[in-house]
Amino acid sequence: MLDIPSRVRVHVETPLAAQNDMGVCDAFEQYAPVREPDTMNAPHPPKVAGIDSTVPSPAHTVAPAPVTTGPPTVPPAPSGSSGPGALLTDRLAGWVSDLTTLHELTERLARTDTLADALQELLRAGAALVGARRGLVVLEPADRLGPDTMIGLGLGRADLGHIETVPRSALALGRILEGLPGGEGEIAEPDLFAEDGLDPRHREVAARLGYAASYAMPLEADGGGGRLGAAVWLYDEPAEPGERQRHLIGLYVRYAAEHLARLLEVERTRACMRTMTEELLPSRLPRVPGVQLAARHRTGPRGGGDWYDALPLPDAALGLAVGSVTGSGPSAVAAMGRLRASLRAYAVMEGEDPVAVLSDLELLLRLTEPARSATALFAYCEPALRKITLAGAGHCPPLLLGERRTEFVETSVSAPLGMLACWEAPSVELEAEAGETVLLYTDGLLHRTGEPVDRAFSRLHAAAAGVPRSLRHDPGAIADHVLRTLLPDGAAAQDSDEDVVLLAARFE
């Protein structure tokens, strides 16, 4: 609680000020230093915080009220008011309203968890604070490590393309991004068409898109993060934000830049994990007579240990494998790469006996990584005979899809690799008919459905049985149909930590 001597008592929520890195006393100094009572009676600028951040921006922007530079005039005190006390109360209420608005806007920004969503929220909130209707933001980190992107508010893809045709040095946005003279801070262009020396292409684009003024700000992260990009808001008529608006947007953009810097690091880490995972998996599937192959793989946001493999073996045979290593992140991805490489070696040496392959793999895992476990399934295929011999270690059973049957292959119940002192389980043999497809998958496919295991298996069976006949000749189309049916929100949904692996083999 903030005490005002003898006149008025106003409750100020300290967390609101702390949220915006500005204490209540700092707010006093920012807006109006305390002087003698007679100088505190000057009328305050129009309140920007009156803008409701939850309501869309007006259809047309309006130029802010001009700020007078002469000596302040004291309006007559309304009847029944206490003069300076009433004005002070009104001014404090305006400050608290501003802080409340910033608190709401920064909370909405903090709830975004992707760069695209954060940039859109930055544009919407900034437009409300400066009284603009449209804008765009360019993410272009100074370290040149990416990602680079451009997002518009009220601007279509074609509009952004037109803006990109303007020389960068002619745009406030470009001067900030290129570090040109005059691009160190905010850049206000209150009347573009009245400026001398306006680039002809810029004049043409502004007339085409219908904006007459702009206000640009750099996005710079503290703590050595450097420049991240720049944002610019466009006015339909000649206008520029007032002093109070500039102060509010400055506080908001400073917080937004820190949030964007954190999301940028997360996005770079995710991209690195995706690249590592893709490099450790087959870049392309082999071509083996008598069988068609297709694979679908999606990595969770933190990177996981699900993998697949397909390799030609002696005597025109084919080895198929899927597996999953416990955990997520770089360590799980590295363990997945080691496990897959080891299985390839064992498959070449003794692939005709899947039990021996998995037994050797289990022994290696127990000796080299005793704290880790994994599931795996290996199938030895003879395409000419359409014969498959497979063994699984704690893995989901394959699904056989054909014209006359859609059924799970019965495999023996066994523990995952690394769970027992000595692993061994019997293998299973099956013969596929011409035109039938075998689906191998990891449990991430079931977990992403959000259903209990038995229900997820039923949904997978129904999705495979519902593949249209026109698609059954193409294993890739079969895999895509199963994913679309089983995961309506998409296999690449960012709200799931589970990897998805689906390997389809169609026998001719």
For residue range 430-477, list pLDDT tens digits in order: 999 999 999 999 988 998 888 898 999 999 999 999 999 999 999 999
Can you give the pLDDT at residue 64? 44
Can you give the pLDDT at residue 491? 47
Can you give the pLDDT at residue 68? 40
Domain extent listing, the chain: 2-65+83-106, 115-264, 281-507
Q: Residues with Cβ < 8 Å from 306, sequence gap 6 or more?
A: 297, 299, 322, 323, 324, 325, 336, 442, 444, 499, 500, 501
29, burial (CB in 10 Å: exposed 0-12, middle 13-18, buried 19+): exposed
Tell me the pLDDT tens digit for each residue of 162-182: 999 999 999 998 999 988 887
Q: Of 16, 23, 220, whose CA–CA distance to 107 is shortest?
A: 16
Can you give the pLDDT at residue 322? 94
Asked if 319 and 378 count as a contact pair (C-beta separation under 8 A), the reply is yes
Can you give the pLDDT at residue 191? 94
Can you give the pLDDT at residue 231? 95
CA atoms within 13 A on the CB side of 240: 15
Q: Residues with Cβ < 8 Å from 359, sequence gap 6 or more?
A: 423, 424
Residue ranges of the chain whose pLDDT lies below 70: 1-83, 223-225, 300-303, 421, 488-497
Asked if 322 and 376 count as a contact pair (C-beta separation under 8 A), the reply is yes
φ, ψ dihedrals at 38, nearest 5°: -70, -30
**Dihedral through CA 19, CA 24, CA 27, CA 33, nearest 10?**
-170
Question: In the 3-class helix/strand/coil scheme, how is 25-79 assigned residue by residue?
Answer: HHHHHHHCCCCCHHHHHCCCCCCCCCCCCCCCCCCCCCCCCCCCCCCCCCCCCCC
Return the CATH superfamily for domain 281-507. Answer: PPM-type phosphatase domain (3.60.40.10)
Can you give the pLDDT at residue 222? 78
Can you give the pLDDT at residue 57? 42
- Fold classification of 115-264 is Beta-Lactamase (3.30.450)
Rounded alpha-carbon distances, angstroms, from residue 338 to 87, 206, 303, 343: 73, 57, 16, 9
Can you give the pLDDT at residue 309? 94
Can you give the pLDDT at residue 367? 87
Asked if 378 and 358 count as a contact pair (C-beta separation under 8 A), the reply is yes
Q: Of 345, 321, 273, whose CA–CA distance to 499 is shortest?
A: 273
| Separation between Cα atoms, residue 110 and residue 98, nearest integer Å | 18
Question: Do β-strands 437-441 and 399-401 pair in parallel, antiparallel, or remain unpaired?
Answer: antiparallel
Q: What is the maximum alpha-carbon separation in the chain?
A: 103
Q: Of 312, 330, 452, whose CA–CA distance to 383 is shortest?
A: 312
Omega of the bond leading into 147 within 30 degrees of 0 (cis): yes
